[in-house]
Amino acid sequence: MTNITRRGLMAASAAVAALPAAATAKPKPAAAAAWTPDATTVAAMIRSREISPLEAVEAAIRRTEALQPTLNFMVNSDFDRALDAAKAGGQTGPFAGVPFLVKDLNDYAGTPTRNGSAGSYGAPPATANDPWVDAALKAGFIVIGKSASPEFGYLPTTEPLAYGPTRNPWNTGHSTGGSSGGAAAAVSAGVVSIAHASDGGGSIRIPAANCGLFGFKPSRGRLAGNTGLKVIDLSVNHVETHSVRDSAAMFAATERTDATAPYRPIGFIRKPSRRKLRIGVLSASGNGRQPDAEVRAGLDSAVGLLQAMGHQVSETGWPIDSARFGQDFLTLWSAGAAMDIAAVSKALGRAPDRSMAEPFSLAMAELIAKAPQGAVDAAIGRLAEASAAYDGWFATFDVIVSPVLAKPPVPLGYVSGDVPFAVLSERLTDYVGYTPLQNIAGAPAMSVPLHWTADGLPVGVQFAAKAGNDAMLFQLAYQLEAARPWAGRKPPVFA
C-alpha cells in the first residue's frame, strides 16, 4: 500500500475548506490515483509515533466541523472527552488511538441515545456502554461522537425527521442508505476511517452500497454482545470501512471466544483463498422484478469478474416464497416498532403524535394493533421455515451473489418516514428485497463496492453465505479488492 506521511494526514483539514457547501453538489470524476488511509494504516502511524492519538483526534474533529454542515452525519459530538482521552493516551488494541463514531442506536456512556427520534429529546446520557461498544473501546478506539440513524433504525435511508437528512458525499441530493447512514457518510467522506454500524435488515450493507464502502454483516452470535440465536434476533454490530482488512481486523477484535459462542473463532483473516467457489447468481428482487439497468450492469460486471477468477457461476432463484417472506418480515419489523412506540409512550406519559414519532413508525405500530391474534407468531414460524430453506440453498452453492438494492442511491425523500404508508410500503418492496433474508437466517453477507453509475453514484454488489461461513466471504472479498481496487475512488465531498 502507498505510504502516507503525517503532513498528508493532517493536511486533510486544510483541504476541506475548498469543498462545495451546496446541498446539491454534483458528482465529479473520481481521482484514480488518490488513496484513502484506512484505520489499519492510521493505527500503524500512531504505534510508530509518526502521529500521536491527539493529532489523529484533532484532525478528525476539524474534518467533522468542516463537513457536518454539508453532510449532517453526526447527532451528538463528544469532542472534549475524546481530546482528554487522546491526551491521556494508554489505549491498547489493534486500533489504539484511532478516531471512531458510535451509531446512535447503541449506548455509549456519557452521551444520550436518541434513536433518531424526537421522542428521545431530552433523554439523559447513557450510564453504561452497549457490550459491543465496550469491545470497540478495548480495541483502542477513541469515540468523537454519535452517528446519525433513521428513527429506530427502520428505514433504508438516514433521514430522521427529528434531526434532518444525512447527505450522500457522492451526491448530496441522494440518500446514504440506512440505518447506518451517518457512519457511512463519515467514512466515505474521509472524516473517520472506520465507524460503528449495525444490521437488522441490511443496515450495514445498504449504506456501504450507497456510499462506495465495504460493509460486512457477520453471522448471528459471532461478535461481542450478540448472544441471541433465534430468528427474531435480527441485528448484529460491526463497522463501515474502506478496506477489507479493517473489517476483518475489527471482526477479530470483537469476536466472541466464550464457551457459549455458537461458532469457533476464525481470528484475523488476512488474505484470500485459492479455493474455487460455486457461486449462484440471483438477479430478481424479492418482488420478482429485475433491478434497474445500472444495478444489473454492476451485477453482470461482478459475474464476469468472478468467472475470470475461475469461480463456477450459475443462475439461481429464491429458495423461498419471497412475496410471503416480505409480508412476514414487515410483520416482525412492525412488532418491533410497536414495542418502540410503547416505550416512547411510557416515557412521555401519553401516546406519541407525529410531533414525537414519525408517520411510518406509528403506522407500523398501528398495523400490529389491528393484526389478528397470533399473526406475529405465525409470521415468525414461517420466517423460521425460510431460514431453513436458506440453509438448504448452500447444498448447491458456496456463495450467492446479488444486488444489494434494486436501484442506485435514491433521491432524498423517496423512502423517508413521512411518505404515505401505502406508497412507502410499495417503494420499500420494490427497492429493498435482497438483504433481509440473511438477517432471518443469521448468515453473513457483504456489500462490495464494485460498480459506479454513469453519473458517479456507487452501486454495491452483495455476496452471501451460509451461517458461520464468515471466513470464506472475507477471503473472497480480498480477491475482489485485489482484482478491482476501490480505495482510490473519492466522492466530491471529501476531507
Task: Look at residues 390, 396, 446 and name the one whose alpha carbon lies nearest to residue 278.
Answer: 396
CA 378 from centroid of its chain's CA atoms: 29
CA pair distance 43, 471, nearest whole angstrom: 23
Confidence of residue 2 (pLDDT cuts 50, 70, 90): very low
CA pair distance 96, 141, nearest whole angstrom: 6
Q: What is the pLDDT of residues 282-298, one digit of tens each?
A: 999 988 999 999 999 99
Contact present, 281 and 316 (Cβ < 8 Å):
yes
| CB atoms closer than 10 angstroms to residue 389 | 16
Task: Determine whether 179 is an active site residue.
Answer: yes
- Provide the grid cell at 195: 465507524
CA pair distance 329, 380, nearest whole angstrom: 8
Taking the whole predicted model, whether its pTM rises above 0.85 is answered as: yes
Phi, psi (rounded to 5 degrees) for 237: -105, 145
Q: What is the pLDDT of residues 75-116, one digit of tens each?
A: 999 999 999 999 999 999 999 999 999 999 999 999 999 999
52's CB contacts (< 8 A; 6+ apart) are: 46, 86, 97
Catalytic residue among 13, 103, 117, 247: 103
CA gyration radius, the chain: 21
- Provide the grid cell at 60: 478528525
Catalytic residue among 120, 179, 180, 416: 179
Catalytic residue among 147, 193, 198, 203: 203
Task: Determine whether 103 is an active site residue.
Answer: yes
CA pair distance 295, 433, nearest whole angstrom: 13
Q: Does 64 have pLDDT greater than 70?
A: yes
pLDDT number for residue 32 = 35
Q: What is the pLDDT of residues 137-154, one digit of tens each?
A: 999 999 999 999 999 999
Greater confidence, 121 or 199?
199
Q: What percentage of the chain carries pLDDT values higher than 90?
A: 90
- Provide the grid cell at 23: 446541498
Task: Determine whether 203 is an active site residue.
Answer: yes
- DSSP for 17-40 reads GGS---TTPPP----TT-----HH
Contact present, 162 and 65 (Cβ < 8 Å):
no
- Provide the grid cell at 31: 481521482
Mean pLDDT of 222-236: 95
Greater confidence, 393 or 488?
393
Assigned CATH topology for domain 8-14+32-320+384-483: Amidase signature (AS) enzymes (3.90.1300)
- Provide the grid cell at 146: 454519535
Q: Does 451 have pLDDT greater than 80?
A: yes
CA pair distance 34, 123, nearest whole angstrom: 42
318 three-state secondary structure: coil
Confidence of residue 241 (pLDDT cuts 50, 70, 90): very high
CA pair distance 279, 290, nearest whole angstrom: 19
DSSP designation for 372: P
SS3 content of the chain, % helix, strand, coil (to 5): 40, 15, 45
Q: Does 348 have pLDDT greater than 80?
A: yes
